[in-house]
C-alpha cells in the first residue's frame, strides 16, 4: 500500500516523526518513504567523539563510510555539528584509557591535521557542497578557515566553540591607487553566529571574520551569541557588534566573571565604576531582544564579600540608544550564594535604568536564576529566591504590574 500513498501525505507523515529509530524504520517501509525518511534522518548530523578513547572507529569515520557508499545523502545534510572530545562539556574518559583525567577541559587541543586526510577531505567536501547552511565546530586547534569553511560554503549559521583557527586565505593583489585589499567576490551573508572563545583564539576569529577577504560576511547578522572570559575579550566582541549594528536583532552575551564588582555585606561600599564599558550598545537601533548571562558568587574564604554583576549591567544597558526597538530583555544570574547575598544585590540601580525613557518600548523583562550544579535542595532554593525578589522594594512593583517575571 505504501506505493499508492500520495507524496504529499508521505511528507506529512514523516514531518510528524522525530524519533530516529522510527525514521530508520520508515526507510524500510517502501520506496515512497525511503527518500523522505532519509532527508529527515540526515537533515542534522552530529559527529561526536567516541564513548572512550580506546575506540579507534569514531562516528565521523562511520559517517565517512556511509557517504562513500551512499553519496546521494550529501544534499540532505543541512546542519553539521563536528565535535572533538575536548569540546564536549563533561566528557568522561574510562578508567582503563585515562585513569588520571576525569574531566576533559573545554580547550581546542585536537589539531585538525591529526584527522585522517580522507576524513578531512570528506568533511570539507560536505561543508562546501552548498547544502550545509548550519555549521558547528568545536575543540579543534589550527583549523585552516579558508580551506575548510570559507570557499564554496553557503552558510547562514556558524557556531565556533573552543576553536583555534589559522587564516590561510591567499592575500589578493593590492590596488596600487587605493592601497586596500579587494573584498572577496560573492560573499555569503551570515545571519546567525555563535562564538565561545577567549584571548588569542577570539582575536584571530574576529580578525578573520572582519577581513575583506573573508568569504563569510558578518555585516548583515540578525543573531549574535558570544561567550567570553575577560574584559579584554569585550573589545573583540565590540568589533563584530559594530560591523552588524544596522541589522542585528538578537544579541546574547556571556561576558565572563571579570565584569563583577566586589561588594561587602557588612558595610556599604560603592561599586567600582570603570567608565564606559568596552562592550556597548550605542549603535544597536535595530536590536529587538537582548540576553546577558552573568553569575553572582559568594566568596568561600570570606563570607562577608560577594561579586555583583549588576553595576556592569547598568553601565551596558545605559549605552542603549534612545531610538531603539528593544522589546525583550533577559538577564540571567547563575547563583552561588545564600539568601542574604541575593537581598543585597544592587537591584535599585538596575530598576532605575529600566525606568528611563529608552526602555519604554520593553514589553517584558525576565530575571532568570538557573540552578547551580552543586545545589541539591532545589525546592527550598526556589522558595527563598521568589520570596527575596517579591519582598525587594525595587523589584516587587515590577512583579505586581506583570512587567517583570522570575524564571527558576
- Ranges of each domain in the chain: 1-41, 44-90+103-169+184-218, 228-408
For the chain, percent of residues with pLDDT exceeding 90: 34
* Closest-CA residue to 50 (of 60, 40, 37): 60
pLDDT in tens, 339-379: 888 888 889 889 999 999 999 999 989 999 887 666 555 67
* pLDDT of 222: 97
More confident residue, 13 or 313: 313
Cβ neighbours around 309 below 10 Å, total: 27
Whether the CB-CB separation of 98 and 86 falls below 8 Å is answered with no
Q: Model confidence at 49, in pLDDT bands (50, 70, 90)?
A: low
**What residues have CB less than 8 Å from 378, skipping those under 6 apart?**
371
8 — pLDDT class (breaks 50, 70, 90): confident
Residues in CB range of 282: below 8 A, 6 or more apart: 319, 321
pLDDT in tens, 177-234: 555 555 555 788 999 999 999 999 999 999 999 998 888 899 999 999 999 999 999 9
Q: What is the pLDDT of residue 104?
A: 29
Please write the tens of the pLDDT for every residue from 394-404.
998 888 878 89
Average pLDDT, the chain: 81
pLDDT of residue 228: 94
Query: Using a CB cutoff of 8 Å and minimum separation of 24, what contacts does 207-210 make?
Result: 207/167, 208/145, 208/165, 208/167, 208/169, 209/240, 210/239, 210/240, 210/243
Amino acid at each position: 500500500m505504501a506505493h499508492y500513498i500520495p507524496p504529499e501525505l508521505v511528507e506529512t507523515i514523516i514531518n510528524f516523526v522525530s524519533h530516529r529509530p522510527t525514521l530508520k524504520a520508515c526507510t524500510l517501509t517502501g520506496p515512497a518513504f525511503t527518500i523522505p525518511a532519509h532527508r529527515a534522518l540526515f537533515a542534522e548530523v552530529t559527529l561526536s567523539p567516541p564513548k572512550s578513547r580506546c575506540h579507534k572507529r569514531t562516528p565521523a569515520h562511520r559517517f565517512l563510510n556511509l557517504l562513500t557508499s551512499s553519496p546521494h545523502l550529501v544534499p540532505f545534510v543541512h546542519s553539521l555539528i563536528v565535535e572533538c572530545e575536548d569540546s564536549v562539556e563533561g566528557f568522561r574518559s574510562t578508567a582503563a584509557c585515562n585513569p588520571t583525567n576525569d574531566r576533559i577541559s573545554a580547550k581546542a587541543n585536537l589539531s585538525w591535521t591529526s584527522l585522517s586526510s580522507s576524513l578531512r577531505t570528506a568533511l570539507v567536501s560536505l561543508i562546501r557542497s552548498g547544502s550545509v547552511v548550519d555549521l558547528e565546530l568545536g575543540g579543534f586547534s589550527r583549523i585552516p578557515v579558508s580551506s575548510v569553511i570559507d570557499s564554496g560554503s553557503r552558510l547562514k549559521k556558524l557556531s565556533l566553540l573552543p576553536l583555534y583557527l589559522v587564516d590561510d586565505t591567499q592575500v589578493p593583489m593590492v590596488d596600487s591607487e587605493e592601497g586596500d585589499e579587494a573584498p572577496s567576490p560573492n560573499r555569503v551573508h551570515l545571519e546567525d553566529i555563535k562564538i565561545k572563545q577567549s584571548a588569542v583564539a577570539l582575536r584571530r576569529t574576529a580578525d578573520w571574520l572582519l577581513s575583506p577577504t573573508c568569504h563569510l560576511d558578518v555585516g548583515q547578522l540578525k543573531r549574535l551569541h558570544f561567550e567570553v572570559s575577560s574584559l579584554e575579550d569585550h573589545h573583540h566582541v565590540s568589533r563584530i557588534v559594530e560591523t552588524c549594528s544596522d541589522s542585528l536583532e538578537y544579541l546574547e552575551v556571556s561576558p565572563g566573571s571579570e565584569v563583577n564588582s566586589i561588594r561587602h555585606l557588612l558595610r556599604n561600599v560603592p561599586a567600582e565604576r570603570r567608565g564606559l564599558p568596552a562592550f556597548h550598545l550605542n549603535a544597536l537601533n535595530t536590536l529587538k531582544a537582548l540576553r546577558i548571562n552573568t553569575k553572582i558568587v559568594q566568596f568561600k574564604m570570606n563570607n562577608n564579600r560577594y561579586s555583583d554583576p549588576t553595576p556592569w549591567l547598568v553601565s551596558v544597558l545605559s549605552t542603549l540608544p534612545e531610538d531603539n526597538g528593544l522589546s525583550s530583555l533577559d538577564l540571567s544570574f547563575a547563583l552561588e550564594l545564600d539568601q542574604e547575598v541575593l537581598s543585597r544585590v544592587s537591584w535599585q540601580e538596575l530598576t532605575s535604568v529600566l525606568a528611563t525613557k529608552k526602555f519604554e518600548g520593553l514589553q517584558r523583562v525576565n530575571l532568570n536564576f538557573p540552578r547551580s550544579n552543586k545545589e541539591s535542595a532545589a525546592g527550598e532554593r526556589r522558595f527563598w529566591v521568589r520570596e527575596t525578589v517579591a519582598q525587594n522594594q525595587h523589584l516587587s512593583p515590577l512583579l505586581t504590574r506583570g512587567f517583570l517575571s522570575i524564571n527558576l
